Amino acid sequence: MNRRAIISLLTILAFASCIKNDLPKPVVDLFIASLDVEGTSGDIVLDRSTYTATIPLAEETNIEAVQFKTITFGSDVVTNINYTADNSKIIVSKDLNNRVVNMTEPEYITLSYFQTYEWKIVATQTINRIWTVDGQIGATEWDLEGHRAIVKRRQDYPLSDVKTTEMRFGPRPTYDYPEVAQMPTNFDNESKSQTVTVSAHGRSTIWELIVVPTEVALDFEYVAAGANVIWIKAANIDGASIQFAYRKKDSEEWLKVNDEWYAADSSNPYNRYEEGFVKAIVRGLEPNTKYEVIGYADEKQSDIKVVTTTSLYQLPNSQMEEWAKFTNDQQLLPTGEVGPCWYPFSSVQHMFWATGNPGGTSLGEKYNLTFPVYKSASPENVPADSPGEVSAYMGSQNVLGMKFAAGNLFVGEYGETLGTNAKIYFGCMVDQNIKPVALRFKVKYSRGGINWITVNNKYQSATTGTEYHIGSKQIKIVGGQPDVAKVFFCLTDWSEPHCVDSADEKTFFDPRTAEGVYGLGYFDSDSNPEMVADHTDRWHTMTLPIEYRNPEVVPSCLLLTFTCSGYGDYFTGSSESWMYVDDIELLYDLDEQNQPK
């Protein structure tokens, strides 16, 4: 090496020795990849958005001694994506493999790599506790933290002779407790209470049992009206005969509620029986009419309740006849500017339904995923008995290898396109008391095997037979498994439509568990295999029962959504799935066979 080369090398080494390594360390998100525990009653939920693992324990499992079998961990490189994390180098604060853990309190575990993440592991357990007595009024009130059970009981029944009719503080054989005949009977003391000791898994808990003497009077939980029905619910009174009657306001004749109108079956979606209550649904009423309802407990009469039945509201463009093409620019849409995007309305002054088309058509007119189909051009794709000439088609697609787009049709508005993501507003505000008993529609559906999937924000084709986990809740998807269609109708007390941002999983919602949903009808094709098994060429008439958490609540927002790819929020589904929908109808009355009419 010559003298000049040596000097140059020394200069470079000296310069390099003065440079600090300021390159930031990669951000590596750490998570529980799998958790296997004995004694569960459902799937363990691994929620990466909140760093929480939730274990649903079966009733008979000892929550103080939960057997953990295996727990594994994974990583997701958030920055410096060319860096490959080595999962074997994840530092775990404690080893839970093959451990017995007391899960009465959350268990915390810390995972470290370049950064540190704390995961919380919680156990949930529902125990079906029962304590009922003779002369009881309504349902038992349970104070689980205070270990107290409280019953209201007819005051004309003596406190010195309280007979337990049924009891269950937990499942046998794990729990040991007194038999019914061994239960205390004398509650004639200052506190009107007695205690029992319940043993479970070698530990004992003292429960206080309290009897509250109550006047025998009918106590309505609610009296609420739809257009053609009235829902009635009152606390049951053991030993008393409870009956309801009704009449048009200002009429002189009271009409007895028919025996078959009383709830007697816990599986009845329209008038579900509930322990501790007497329920009925009065049918065949006139809309927009005042009615009076009264109840009797033996000879004692309740106050008169006055309700007004609602109107027979139907959704705009429910026959799917009105369609037009406008701009996909949502800021220009109110002007009615013509464009490449199909909309399920004919005038921007009467927007009600929406689709994901504005996002897709920003890449070209061929990415209209939802559009009208005309009987004149495609007679098999409009129901033969339909009064109209048009049906709605929706199909899912892989869009230019960038994202999976699910075909959909929903009540609401498309908000805005944000790169390959979008904001969508589900629902519309309503100013009338809408109370249908069911939603009926005609549908034809074909589902393909899931062939596109998004895992850890990476969009890719799904390999048949390969197991994937999508979203922060790590939903298990196997490549090639059948796609799923979903339909749901909601009535809520929201102050505004719900905004879903496809880039923010925290905005996703499940109508079955969402806050503020008081009326719900839900359908998916997994629960209705007759619709998809070798019958994709047939139209089916589907009826969704609408159940009310409390029918007295006046709804402020209405939602209705159809999609042929139920995991579309996660950019996951089949590009071979499609659905036709037509003749959407809200139903307001039931026949004598308890079926919507």
When pLDDT is averaged across residues 559-583 and rounded to a whole number, the result is 95
Q: What is the mean pLDDT of residues 526-554?
A: 83
Cα separation, 396 vs 404, in Å, equals: 8
pLDDT at residue 209, rounded to an integer: 96
**CB proximity list for 16: less than 8 A, separation 6 or greater:** none
32-41, 60-69, 77-86, 307-316: the lowest-pLDDT one: 77-86
Residue 189 has pLDDT above 90, yes or no: yes
Mean pLDDT score across all residues of the chain: 90
What tokens does 338 get? 């013509």
Q: Which amino acid is at 234?
A: A
498-517 pLDDT tens trace = 999 998 988 998 999 999 99
Please enumerate in sequence order all residues whose Cβ is within 8 A of that of 142, keeping only pairs 6 or more positions apart, or say none. Answer: 129, 148, 149, 150
User: Which of the four pLDDT bands, split at 50, 70 and 90, describes residue 374?
Assistant: very high
* Per-residue pLDDT tens digits for 443-455: 999 999 999 999 9
For residue 261, report the phi and psi dihedrals to the nearest 5 degrees: -90, -10
Under 8 Å between Cβ of 552 and 226: no
pTM for this prediction: 0.83
One-letter amino acid for residue 244 of the chain: F
Whether 66 has a pLDDT exceeding 60, the answer reads yes
What pLDDT score does 533 carry? Answer: 57
pLDDT computed for residue 530 by the predictor: 67
SS3 6: helix
**What does the alpha-carbon distance between residue 176 and residue 167 come to, in Å, rounded to a whole number?**
12
Q: How far apart are CA 367 and CA 485, in angstroms?
A: 20
List, in sequence order, every residue forming a beta bridge with 467; answer none if it has no partner: 478
Using the predicted structure, report yes or no on whether residue 292 has a pLDDT greater than 70. yes
Query: Could you tell me which residue, 594 or 387, shows the higher pLDDT?
Result: 387
Residue 4 has pLDDT above 50, yes or no: no
**Tokens in use for 176?**
């040991």
Mark 46-58 as b/e (b = at least 16 C-beta within 10 Å).
bbbeebbbbbbbe
* Long-range contacts of 510-516, Cβ-Cβ distance < 8 Å, separation of 24 or more: 511/559, 514/490, 516/492
Decide: helix, strand or coil at residue 450: coil
Q: How many Å apart are CA 209 and CA 187, to the nearest integer?
A: 9
Q: What is the pLDDT of residue 199?
A: 82
Q: pLDDT by residue (tens digit) across 453-467?
A: 999 888 999 999 998
Q: Report residue 22's pLDDT band, with 50, 70 and 90 as the boundaries.
A: low
Question: Above 50 in pLDDT, residue 8?
Answer: no
